[in-house]
Structure formats: C-alpha cells, structure tokens
Amino acid sequence: MSVRRRRSIFDLLREYIEEIEALTDEIFERVTEKPSWDISSQSLEPLCDVHVSHDRVIVTADLPKADPESIRISSIRDDLIEITAKMRVKIRFEDLGVSHRRGEFTCFCCRVPLPVPVDISGAKVRYVKGILEITLPRKRGYEIKIE
C-alpha cells in the first residue's frame, strides 16, 4: 500500500503565484509598445498587415522611399519572414516631426510572424507606390501542435 502525501497549502499557493507571474509577464510583453526604430542599425520598422485566406497569406508592408532594387524577403521559419530594404533618401527624426531626438534612418527592417506555415518558394511579390505586397501559398500537410 502506497502512502500518498498531501500537498501543503503553501505549495499550492506558490504554484499558483508562479503561474500568475508567468501569465502576467506574457501579457505585459504583448501589450507594451516597443519603438519602431533602431538607431544603432539606422532602421525603421515599417507598418505591416497580414491577411489569411483558405489557400494563401497576403502580407503588405508600407515602404515609402524604399529602393525597389534593394528589397529583400527571407524566410526565417515556416511562419516567420524578414523584410529589409534600403531607402533612397535618409530620413531624420526632424522629418517625422520629432524635435527632442537625434538620428537618421537609412533602411527598413522587420520580422513578420505569420499565423500559419507558408511555402516561401511559391511567393509572389509586388511593389507599387511604396506598398510591398507578398502573396505566399499556405503550406499543406503541416502538423498542428497540441499543448
């Protein structure tokens, strides 16, 4: 016959507190706003939008003043892409109406998380009037992770 030890109320409280701390940290990371620029690399993060349909994922990125020849799209994972592009002209904080900071930007750089895995080899890219549109076919036959 096995003896079952009852857990202390303090052990249960400690576990609950640890779970709550982990959840609040995760929520805080999602909610807090990070700057859309990096002065050390002189890069701006463009505005991006992701639209998912039954057979494809469409990513749009706002890249004003970007050099079309320098736009690069790379796949980090099946569900994460990176967009980089050099600017035709340098943009300073003063150009954006910010007078209390100094610095200039020469490129765009962002990582876009995708809600579903995609096949990057079938990507179609269009750049018109400063808007980059990437159409990616959804990957078929991927395994869904169960937590």
- Kindly state whether residue 128 falls inside one of the protein's structural domains: yes
- Kindly state whether residue 18 falls inside one of the protein's structural domains: no
Number of domains in the chain: 1
- Kindly state whether residue 147 falls inside one of the protein's structural domains: no
Residue (of 57, 66, 84, 71) closest to 142 by Cα position: 57
Percent with pLDDT over 70 in the chain: 95
For the cut 80, the answer to whether the pLDDT of residue 93 exceeds it is yes
- Kindly state whether residue 29 falls inside one of the protein's structural domains: no
* Mean pLDDT within 61-80: 92
- Kindly state whether residue 68 falls inside one of the protein's structural domains: yes
For residue 63, the tally of other CB atoms under 10 A from its CB is 23
Q: Which domain holds residue 60?
A: 37-137
- Kindly state whether residue 13 falls inside one of the protein's structural domains: no
Residue 86 sits in a domain of what CATH number?
2.60.40.790
For the cut 80, the answer to whether the pLDDT of residue 146 exceeds it is no
